[in-house]
Amino acid sequence: MTERYQHFINGEYVAPSEDRYFTSTNPATLEELYEAARGNAQDVDLAVKAAHSAFTSSAWSSLNATQRGHLLRRLGDLVGENAEKLAMDESLDNGKLLREMRGQMAALPEYFYYYAGLADKVQGAQIPAMNPAILNYTQREPLGVVGAITPWNSPLTLTTSKIAPALAAGNTVVIKPSEYTSRTVLLLAELADQAGFPAGVINVVTGFGAEAGAALVAHPLLAKISFTGSTATGSHIASQAASRFIGCTLELGGKSPNIIFDDANVSNAAMGVIAGIYAAAGQTCIAGSRVFAHKSVYDELVEKVTARARSIVIGDPLADSTELGPLAFAGQLEKVSSYVELGAKEGATVLAGGCRPEGLELPGYYYAPTVLTDVNNDMRVVREEIFGPVAAIMPFEHEDELLGMANDTEYGLAAGVWTQNLSRAHRMARKLEAGTIWVNTYRAMSPMSPRQGFKNSGVGIEHGLESMNEYTRLKSVWINT
């Protein structure tokens, strides 16, 4: 019989108010994995009310910041102890390589430790007053119940980036994970319970965006929404949050440029292009999907990237030798193939991929690593986020022309630059309109380093010291001494 998961509310598994469940499927084999509760507004109401009463309960509110840090540290330890199971479950759910998920789970405890260390560093300041008899100081307070809505591509890492600072600052949380990856987030809530977090501090309602997600955003007791997902959904959530004057942190889509100058080490750059666009089958927000190569190295780069794209080992995400797994679900496969078809109609040349990999026995949602050339900034394949293994490679001649093309996008999440010229590296870092710039590397990330999406790629900051402020409000106190 298929394993069934209920919501996790107020420290225990709770059946959905309507007896409805949905199935999670392995995207490599198309086998059914488990069922999760299909949450509705009533389930969300139960969870938010549990989080709201936990926020004021003495079990949580009487803990000092150092004690909250200890709880987070214990949770980090438990995540580390369960890393292999969590990695396996995420890989089965979203089709990412087990090796990559093992890497993510090995790093995940560090996220908890980092925020554990920040818990007792949240502080206000004493402000000089015009009247010397007045003592004016500020203090930072938690907001209340924080809603966290997350996507399927890195379920636990992206959930942790929200809930760890929220909890460190003294909030309580209700998480609505992606309907494609419910299981590991439920397991995280169980581990939090084992770590000693009071009941109701961490709650999970599983289900679909339009039902459980929308109900969470609309709940009147919610103090803040922290969302990672597509720009379209983020825009909808932002307008709802604005109408109720609650804060939101949004980490959204991208169409990041990866730029190779004439003085770059082209072999290294080609590997950076490959990692930037084919890791996780291109299903990363930071995918370097627009590749700009100086015309003097364009042919060499295209040749190297195409040769590697054609030789990537595609197969079972659990096998050590596999380099590319499936897309996460049927809709992803339809989206990616229709974009490549559209690109070809718009005049693009498909140098590699553009189809299901040949000879693959697994029935899943596989798509071969794809290279498009003869593309330009007016084409939809270059302007819109495909979220799949599709690189569009374009030549450029002058730096100004390159900057014009690289910045001509609604997105501003990340950018890669490959050059040996230090001055140029700094100049590009200054002029590229993106929240993260990588020079002679791509995809580096850590909980210590703040990241912010520019333009339509987001609002607010995740990671780093600044992210703590996203989960607090500032109070100014004036005392007549």
Active-site positions read: 251
- Closest approach of ligand NAD to the CB of residue 309, in Å: 21
414-418/21-25 β-pairing:
unpaired
Site for ligand NAD (CB under 6 A): which residue of 90, 316, 385, 470? 385
Site for ligand NAD (CB under 6 A): which residue of 104, 233, 249, 289? 233
**Nearer Cβ to ligand NAD (9/402):** 9
Q: Which of 24-37 are b and which e, b meaning 16 or more Cβ less than 10 Å from the residue's Cβ?
A: bbbbbbeeebbbbb
Give the three-state DSSP class for 146. strand
CA–CA distance, 236 with 219 (Å, rounded to integer): 15
Continuous segment of H or E residues that includes residue 335? helix 330-346
Give the three-state DSSP class for 397. coil
Query: Is residue 447 involved in binding ligand NAD (CB under 6 A)?
Result: no
Query: Is residue 254 involved in binding ligand NAD (CB under 6 A)?
Result: yes
Q: Which of 83-110 are b and which e, b meaning 16 or more Cβ less than 10 Å from the residue's Cβ?
A: beebbbbbbbbbbbbbbbbbebbeebbb
Query: Is residue 152 involved in binding ligand NAD (CB under 6 A)?
Result: yes
**Nearer Cβ to ligand NAD (149/394):** 149
**Nearer Cβ to ligand NAD (54/149):** 149
**Nearer Cβ to ligand NAD (210/448):** 210
Site for ligand NAD (CB under 6 A): which residue of 35, 89, 251, 316? 251
- Closest approach of ligand NAD to the CB of residue 150, in Å: 6
The Cα-based distances of 73 to 48, 64, 121 in angstroms read 25, 14, 15
- Pick the piece of the chain touching ligand NAD (CB under 6 A) from 37-45, 137-145, 230-238, 301-309: 230-238
Beta carbons within 10 angstroms of residue 246's beta carbon: 18
**Binding residues for ligand NAD restricted to 320-359, rule: CB under 6 A:** none
Site for ligand NAD (CB under 6 A): which residue of 176, 224, 304, 335? 176
Residue 261 is which amino acid?
A: F
**Nearer Cβ to ligand NAD (337/373):** 337
Query: Is residue 248 involved in binding ligand NAD (CB under 6 A)?
Result: no
**Distance in angstroms between the alpha carbons of the first and the last residue of the chain:** 70
Query: Is residue 109 involved in binding ligand NAD (CB under 6 A)?
Result: no
Query: Is residue 236 involved in binding ligand NAD (CB under 6 A)?
Result: yes
CB 259 within 8 A of CB 418: yes
290-294/390-396 β-pairing:
parallel
466 — alpha (psi -120 to 50), left (phi > 0) or beta?
Answer: alpha
- Closest approach of ligand NAD to the CB of residue 125, in Å: 30
**Nearer Cβ to ligand NAD (49/176):** 176
- Closest approach of ligand NAD to the CB of residue 372, in Å: 19
CB 55 within 8 A of CB 61: yes
Site for ligand NAD (CB under 6 A): which residue of 209, 288, 317, 388? 209
Query: Is residue 387 involved in binding ligand NAD (CB under 6 A)?
Result: yes
- The binding site for ligand NAD (CB under 6 A) comprises 149-153, 158, 176, 178-179, 208-210, 213-214, 217, 228-230, 233, 236-237, 251-254, 285, 385, 387, 413, 453, 458
